[in-house]
Chains A and B, each alone.
Chain A
Amino acid sequence: MSHQLIKVYEEGQVGVIQLNRPKVLNALNRQMVDEIVEQLEVYDRNPEIRVMVIKGNDKVFAAGADIDEMLEDTPLSIELTDPFAVWDRMTLIKKPIIAAVNGFCLGGAFELALHCDLIIAGEDAKFGFPEVKLGVMPGAGGTQLLTKAIGQRRALEWIWLGEMHDADEAKSLGIVNRVVAPELVEEEAMRFTHSLAKQAPISVRLIKEAVRAAGDLPLREGMRLERKNFYLAFDSEDQTEGMKAFVEKRPPNFKGV
């Protein structure tokens, strides 16, 4: 598959997607989101890949959505092209997706990061939804995902005022997992990702499904899903290997089957 607006490469069992429109601070346009989602789906089906990373460059994750692209939009034109529908496919990805963030992560880019499972951010990272200042609002999940992450009051404050927030604040609210030196975002993200890739892949994907369900389902259904996934894990060779290795006091060798 050819990519124009992203770069793609694999490092061991980690698939990396780099946003690549540096001249416009990686502004997300529709083609770019399409390319990202398609690549995530390719990696999700690739048995060699266990974890995926989405990153920008060492200066900026992405400054937001491509405004020029939206200037001519009418309600009917966007209803018919339905440009945000592709985002739904990102929620169906079963393997872990890690966002590695330097610099601006605003608007559509923040939505992209919130669609990821974990966020590793540099001390220089800035998060926010400036849409309100342009007389619009987040449209690719921002109001929902941020609210699930930090609660209604905080989310309203962030989205109403449209201000930028730094990495430490984002971490204290639970949006960001780790804050690292700006120079080391990529290195630390890869270090984290490689250690995640060593975990039993079946467990990792069943855990992701169950934890994600906690944000959506009533408790009883979530509990039921968790239990099913727990039982399902017992059909994997990795479960046998993991428990055996524990008893034999040696490190397990997980194969993802």
Chain B
Amino acid sequence: MKNKRTAAIYHLILIAGALTMVIPFFWMVSTSFKALKEVFVFPPTFFGDKIIWQNYLKVSDRYPFGLFFLNSIKISFFVVFAQLLTSSMAGFAFSRIKFKGREALFSLYLGTLIVPFHVTLVPTFLIMKYFGWIDSHLSIIIPSLVSAFGTFLMRQFFLTIPEELENAARIDGCNPAMIYLMIFLPLTKPALATLGVFTFMGIWNDFIRPLVFINSIPKMTVPLGLATMQGMYSTDWPVLMAGTVISLIPVLVAFIAAQEYFVRGVTLSGLKG
């Protein structure tokens, strides 16, 4: 920024925008500290009479929320690492290795993205049943180890890396595995961080598959637990929002952690490197 005044205007616009982004989040947090009857008063208030911390303790009153949390962490851990690996490898093949049928195969990957999940629910259930994974975390983890979205994303980012870099490495005697590991992966850290955040967010919030494949309470995940708290006739909003706020923390932490890699990505991606 050239001068202070432009910077100030800049901040002003960004703050105004950020405010609209924060409102629902703020509502979630403030509701989580209210008494039930304070939730829907008119005009809406942001703070209740007093702060009720106990809502956070009540989250695990009726369901083992702590266990749901651990289940979700476990599932997400495997899925995020596996997806980063499988997606970046396949993305590399689709962008940097010329082989017969590449475009056709890639179109197939894109094609599966277009089919709404609801319609594949029954066939997927049958496959899970065939493998004996119903009511097991394997039914959520195994199908998520691979992602067409992630493969597409990584392909696009690998495509932007200048060919000269690859050629230079090849002349130095590097094989594709070395090029992938030593040049492409370090250069696409911002992309990997982005994919990591999205994958984590996706699997952490995944609702329909755990809903259909998991039956017993001790194996449930956080979104299932939260949805169960939302009753058909009445809902304890403050407790539900307390649970929701807790459930958002890991995603927020993942996002903040990933931000570090954006900065590092910049310094590394100079052509001279």
Specify whether A and B are partners.
no
